[in-house]
Structure 1
Amino acid sequence: MSQDLSVKEAAAEINVSAAKVRALIRTGEIAAYRPGKRSYRVTREALETYKALKHSALKLEIRASKDDQASA
């Protein structure tokens, strides 16, 4: 059974505010669904996907920074 998270729980897990998670949901960076009219739920899989993409982006950014420093 999947473990769906509230916006607050997802925010705590990725160390951002609940407002930031809602913004990430609105932009499509984190997939979520609405079980009612007011709240969002984030699946564990969606949050893990977001974390993996952010981790990959950070690694690419660090690599690019090192390449820039080496060529300077």
Structure 2
Amino acid sequence: MEQWSWDGEEWLVSGEEIGGKVKEMMADDAVRERAAKVGEEAAKAVAEGGTSHTSMLEFVAKLKAA
């Protein structure tokens, strides 16, 4: 089992390590295509009329009514 902690630099993941893993994953065509699809769906959700946009408007309306 790997140990991790917030207590020291030695346990932090470097930006270089994260970047390397992202590049490794994005080299896989299937992963890249899926990531693009997820990005498209997220953009639709936050666009005007999307599910996240609509939910946020409803939330704000409830706050104003309270």
Q: Normalised by the shorter chain, which TM-score bucket?
A: 0.3 to 0.5
Specify which structure has the bigger relative contact order, considering alpha-carbon pairs within 8 angstroms and separated by 6 or more residues. 1
Q: 1 or 2, which has the higher helix percentage?
A: 2
When the two structures are superposed, what TM-score results if normalisation uses the length of structure 1? 0.35
TM-score scaled by length of structure 2: 0.37
**Structure with larger Rg:** 2
